[in-house]
Structure 1
Amino acid sequence: MTQDASSARAADPTTQRMQALALAMTGGLIVLGVAWELWLAPTGSGTLALKVLPLVLCLAGLLRHRLYTYRWLSLLVWFYFTEGVVRATTESGMSQVLAIAEIALTLGLFAACTMYIRWRLRQGRLLNA
């Protein structure tokens, strides 16, 4: 049995809360990205909606408590943060509001991933001590 499988079965309440928060923030970024590029403030033919594909690929790992996915996602989220900052400062109207929402979601997702990783590593040290 792998470490991820055993820890997923015995996930404590803090780990479950951080997982739920990370899933909610990731889902929010996916919905925001698709809605933004297809309906709310489209910037072209809609192909920019594909930018959420890496987030969709992360969902399975988040659901399975894969520590590697949380680590990878905590780095990936900064691309979405950068897009939000650039678009919040260069665009106006609805696009600017959506960019600010993207910034908030990315910061929340980074915090949730970071707390999840720290908590899981702390729990691993306690179990091995």
Structure 2
Amino acid sequence: MMRRQDVFHYGAMGSLVLLIAWCVAWEMWIAPLHPGGSWMVLKAVPLIFPLAGVIKRDLYTLQWTSMMILLYFTEGVVRGWSDRTHPWLGWGEAGIVLVYFVCAILYVRPYKQAARKAAKELLDKINQVH
């Protein structure tokens, strides 16, 4: 049986890979700004850098990418709202980002709670000594 943390990890990994593929397909083939592809495809490059950390379950990577990825959410909403021919691409991007964000936050949460508890216990021990 799969643990809940595994589900969140696979959700974060899968949505990040899907978002990279989505951005490339969008800007190269489905609806590029210019025929034959667009330099906008480069927006997928920053998503490639944290991929190894997300795969390795690095908490720090999952934390900072959960904030960085909100830029893609913003782009998805703006383009979903304003694009007259392919708004579903923008809304799809925003949806994929939401999946990543929720999975990353829920994956990191128990570790953050454990760290807070350990820090509190350490402070309590220090206070007992004095």
Q: Give the structure-1-normalised TM-score.
A: 0.82
Match of 1:104 among 90, 95, 106: 95
Structure 1 position 118 matched with structure 2 position 109: yes
Matched residues, percent identical?
Answer: 32
Q: Distance in 2 between matches of 1:126 and 1:90?
A: 46
Match of 2:60 among 49, 56, 68: 68
Question: Do the aligned partners of residues 77 and 118 (structure 1) sit closer, same or farther apart at CA in structure 2, a change above 3 Å counting?
Answer: same
Which structure has more relative contact order (CA 8 Å, sep 6+)? It is 1
| Paired position in structure 2 for 1:4 | none
Cα deviation, residue 81, structure 1: 0.5
Aligned AA for 2:63? R
Cα deviation, residue 121, structure 1: 2.3
Aligned AA for 1:36? W
How many residue pairs match? The answer is 117
Unaligned runs of 5+ in 2: 122-130
Unaligned runs of 5+ in 1: 1-11
Q: Give the structure-2-normalised TM-score.
A: 0.81
Q: Distance in 2 between matches of 1:22 and 1:123?
A: 21
- Please identify the structure whose Cα radius of gyration is greater: 2
Q: CA RMSD in A?
A: 1.9
